[in-house]
Amino acid sequence: VALENELQSALEERQFVMYYQPRIDTPSGRIVSAEALIRWQHPVRGLVGPVEFIGLAEETGLIRPIGAWVIDAVCAQQAAWLAAGQPVVPVAINLSAVQCAYAGLFATISDAIERHGLEARHLEFELTETAVMNNPEEAARNLRALKRLGVLLSLDDFGTGYSSLAQLKRFPFDFVKIDRSFIAGLPDDAEDAAIAAAIIAMAHSLHLRVVAEGVETEAQLELLRTLRCDELQGFYFSRPIPAQGFAALLAADS
């Protein structure tokens, strides 16, 4: 209960902050997008990661106002970079199951885009297969409306749920993100390599681009390049970092 009360006041006291982790285009090595990841700057505990509070936020319904704050904060950041004439890449926002099943999700997102004078192509949304399949009808409605608006959509943590890519083809995804549990064993684990190769081949046959998450070594990068994985994300390139640091990385890369 204490943490729940604190989570409620965290929003009012502006204790949340967004970090950004770059995503790299495999052939060119350039930064082509970023994933926005929330952190809680707690007055006593210090920087708290999302695994410690997103679950509670989902259970208590606080994920809706927190999620709306995340969407607004990322839009405000993108608008500030554009206004400053800095290079901008699409930024991907994670959506939880509760958010994807919420009938007001589309309005929350389209209002924020409009309010900040952004274009839809400046944003991407990441959803897990579990989140989508939790309420497939509402998720499909939200995703189709978002796709018409022009945002990018990615299927996050792919391979950890129970659905097949063929089943998910009815949702308008642009990217599949291979879960980092399959990347960790590369290049030596033959089974993980076979799974990664199969996901990439099937995604490509369905005209989806593929992102590998959790890339930590040069050897993983080399294998993923050979497998024609389109984009890479992981500590090998950068940890999630504050907005200013990300802007500096992007400026140096442009």
| Interface ranges with ligand G (CB under 6 A) | 21, 37-38, 49-51, 54, 67, 70, 94-96, 156-157, 180, 213-216, 234-235, 240
The answer to whether 207 and 8 are in contact (CB under 8 A) is: no
Cβ of 72: how many Cβ atoms within 10 Å?
15
156 is a site residue for Mn ion (CB under 5 A): yes
Q: Which residues are CB-contacts of 79 (< 8 A; sequence separation ≥ 6)?
A: 116, 117, 118
Q: Is 156 in the site for Na ion (CB under 5 A)?
A: yes
The site string for Na ion over 187-216 (x = CB under 5 A, - otherwise) reads --------------------------x---
Distance CA 167, CA 188 (A): 30
Smallest separation (angstroms) from Na ion to the CB of 178:
9
Looking at beta carbons only, is 142 or 233 nearer to Na ion?
Answer: 233
By beta-carbon proximity to ligand G, the closer residue of 111 and 216 is: 216
Among 26, 33, 77, 94, binds Mn ion (CB under 5 A): 94
- Kindly list the residues in this chain that would bind Mn ion in the complex (CB under 5 A): 94, 126, 156
